[in-house]
Structure 1
Amino acid sequence: MPTFSPAAVWPIILLSMSNVFMTFAWYGHLKFKGAAIWVAVLVSWGIAFFEYCLAVPANRIGAQVYSAAQLKTIQEVITLLVFSGFSVFWLKETLTINHVLGFALIAAGAALIFRA
């Protein structure tokens, strides 16, 4: 069983946390369609600040272990996982088999990035 160094695990943890903020910043306002667009933009910018406070260190730490392409791939896979949960629980949308199959194809592509 492979062992993971903290430098390999922390970027994944930080990117996961930043992704929660990012998803709320980008899509959270869709639940409040009656709010003025300028309010949605300002609130989104405020939320995105915290996303950056987590994403930048995640990438700095991660660059010690992963290539830039691998870091981006990790971030995209996390984005799909976080967004899937977000869309179901926050936006009350359903995931269809097409979503699942599409995400599976993306995951298969991501696996190629990490192939030796």
Structure 2
Amino acid sequence: MKPRPLLLSLSPPLVQLLTLALQTIPSLLADLFLRVKGQTPKYMDMQQRAVLLRDIISKFTRTSLYMKSEKAQKLIATLDDKDKVLFPCDTRMISWRKYMPVFYHGVQEYLLKSKQ
């Protein structure tokens, strides 16, 4: 099955509902179809691995972290304007809405080894 677009939610019940509706039920139906054709089911196993991965990384994706970075900030302050353009280091400028799909694509391609 083709990876779906990234959906973001801070609501655990909504995540569970979306997982059921968009992953579990389609995987069960696809495996049922494979069984009817006499083939080995595989989609529920894939879906369970995806949920396991989601649960493993949830500690990092649900938690706000604060890290002291005074030394790094001092180093960044020494950059001239040209270097600041070449090496943007201000984490406040990160667009998380743009970053998360890129992160998701990286997980798909490099951790799960699936081509989109």
**TM-score normalised by the chain length of structure 2:** 0.30
**TM-score normalised by the chain length of structure 1:** 0.30
Give the structure with higher Rg (CA): 2
Relative CO higher for 1 or 2, CA cutoff 8 Å, sep ≥ 6?
A: 1
